[in-house]
């Protein structure tokens, strides 16, 4: 592999969690990391990290990032599409504006960044690393919007991989399970806010389910990997000479991925329902 100190990497959503940890890990390995953040004070601080103001849903900021990369003399080795939000609510109760917001951030923003940086990646024969989720393999109750965007990101990644592989660009998907980051806490708070807006009838139908899923999310996060451990998997996806097409992150992700391959839908439904029931008593 060429000298990392002479190569750029873009990491979106680098303010906290896996994005910040991945930016630090890649900088530690010698890369010059352009860390996309929505506020400069939130940027991770380390030698080799350059904060870049980036809201991936804002075309002007995406264009400015592409211009920054084009103006640099160093090749772009990889873009790590990590930015994301978690919004959980039953399909019936989630307002359409929230559906659109989830897809704008978790799907369309990644496509916009990838489109803007592909010319540089084609020149350098670099790679795209899309941070998906185990939610891109199995959709839990109340995860309709989040999992829908992640399933779509998986499909876009497959299509892109087949388009650009002949051109020398690799596309890799990273699929984390539970990771100890702030995202889950923010997701639970958002889920509670959305639940508060449900009608009495919707609350009767889904209130217990929302509480159980929140309990499950909190438990999975508490027992999950650290952000630094997840970042090491992301770094492997970025640096491996011949990367796999997909990297599950954590035992829960690996197990659930296997289950989705071998179990019929109804059997998987029963497994997920039993998991939710175990958390209903503690919700």
Residues identified as active-site: 146
Give 15-63 as a DSSP string: SSHHHHHHHHHHHHTT-EEEEEESSGGGS---TTEEEEE--TT-HHHHH
Which letter, b or e, does each residue of 62-97 get, where b requires 16 or more Cβ atoms within 10 Å of its Cβ? beebbeebeeeeebbbbbbbbbbbbbbbbeebbeee
* Angle subtended at Cα 45 by Cα 14 and Cα 53, rounded to the nearest 5 degrees: 45
Are 43 and 19 in contact, with CB atoms under 8 Å apart?
no
Residue 106's closest CA among 144, 56, 64?
A: 56
Name every residue whose Cβ is closer than 8 Å to that of residue 194 and which is 6 or more positions away in sequence. Answer: 87, 88, 89, 93, 94, 98
Name every residue whose Cβ is closer than 8 Å to that of residue 247 and which is 6 or more positions away in sequence. Answer: 172, 173, 174, 175, 233, 236, 237
Q: What 3-state class would DSSP assign to 72?
A: coil
């Amino acid at each position: 592999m060429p000298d990392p100190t002479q190569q750029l990497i873009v990491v979106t959503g680098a303010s906290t969690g896996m994005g910040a940890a991945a930016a630090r890990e890649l900088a530690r390995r010698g890369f010059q990391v352009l860390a996309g953040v929505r506020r400069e004070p939130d940027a991770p601080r380390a030698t080799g990290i350059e904060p870049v103001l980036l809201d991936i849903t804002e075309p002007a900021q995406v264009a400015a990032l592409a211009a920054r990369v084009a103006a640099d003399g160093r090749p772009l080795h990889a873009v790590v599409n990590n930015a994301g939000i978690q919004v959980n609510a039953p399909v019936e109760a989630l307002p359409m504006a929230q559906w659109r917001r989830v897809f704008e951030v978790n799907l369309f923003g990644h496509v916009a960044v990838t489109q803007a940086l592909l010319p540089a990646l084609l020149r350098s024969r670099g790679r795209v690393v899309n941070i998906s989720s185990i939610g891109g393999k199995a959709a839990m109750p109340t995860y309709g919007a989040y999992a829908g965007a992640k399933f779509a990101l998986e499909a876009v990644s497959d299509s892109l991989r087949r388009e650009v592989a002949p051109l020398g660009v690799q596309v890799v998907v990273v699929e984390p399970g539970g990771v100890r980051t702030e995202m889950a806490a923010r997701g639970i708070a958002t889920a509670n806010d959305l639940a508060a807006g449900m009608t009495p009838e919707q609350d009767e139908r889904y209130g217990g389910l929302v509480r159980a899923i929140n309990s499950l999310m909190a438990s999975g996060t508490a027992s999950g990997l650290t952000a630094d451990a997840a970042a090491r998997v992301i770094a492997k996806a970025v640096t491996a000479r011949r990367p796999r097409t997909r990297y599950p992150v954590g035992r829960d992700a690996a197990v659930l991925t296997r289950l989705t391959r071998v179990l019929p839908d109804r059997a998987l439904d029963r497994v997920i329902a039993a998991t939710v029931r175990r958390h209903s008593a503690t919700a």
